[in-house]
Amino acid sequence: MQNADVGVFFDEWRRKVIEISKQDIEKANILIDSLAYIKDFHQKIVVIKYGGHAMISEQMRQRVISDIAWLSYVGMKPIIVHGGGPEINRMLELQGVEPQFINGLRVTSSDVMRTVEMVLTGSISPNLTTMLNEEGVSSVSVSGKDNKIMEAVKKDESLGLVGQVTNVNTDYLRQMLDDNLLPVISPIAHGPKGESLNINSDEAAAAIASALNAEKMIYLTDINGIYEDPADPTTLCSVMSADQIQKAIENEMITGGMIPKVENCLDAIQSGVRSCQIIDGTIPHAIILELFTKNGIGTMITA
The DSSP-derived string for 152-220 is: EEES-GGGBSBEEEEEE-HHHHHHHHHTT-EEEEESEEE-TTS-EEE--HHHHHHHHHHHTT-SEEEEE
Whether 63 has a binding-site annotation, put simply, is: no
Quickly state the pLDDT bin for 9 (edges 50, 70, 90): low
Whether 104 has a binding-site annotation, put simply, is: no
Whether 274 has a binding-site annotation, put simply, is: no
Judged by DSSP in three states, 250 sits in helix
For residue 266, the Cα-to-chain-centroid distance in whole angstroms is 17
Model confidence, pTM: 0.89
pLDDT of residue 300: 94
Whole-number Å distance between alpha carbons of 99 and 34: 44
Comparing 300 with 35, the larger pLDDT belongs to: 300
Mean pLDDT of the chain: 90
Summarize the confidence of residues 236-244 as an average pLDDT.
93
Whether 163 has a binding-site annotation, put simply, is: no
Tell me the one-letter amino acid at 45: I
233 pLDDT above the threshold of 90: no
Q: Any residues with CB less than 8 A from the CB of 215 and at least 6 apart, and which?
A: 41, 44, 45, 46, 273, 274, 275
pLDDT of residue 252: 86
Backbone conformation region of residue 243, classed left if phi is above 0, alpha if psi is from -120 to 50, else beta: alpha
Summarize the confidence of residues 180-206 as an average pLDDT.
97
pLDDT of residue 36: 81
127 pLDDT above the threshold of 60: yes
Quickly state the pLDDT bin for 29 (edges 50, 70, 90): confident
**Residue 164 vs residues 137, 190, 220, 246: alpha-carbon distances, Å:** 31, 10, 22, 22
Comparing 273 with 12, the larger pLDDT belongs to: 273
Instruction: Let me know: does 181 contact 140? Beta carbons within 8 Å.
Output: yes
Percentage of the residues of the chain whose pLDDT score is greater than 70: 93
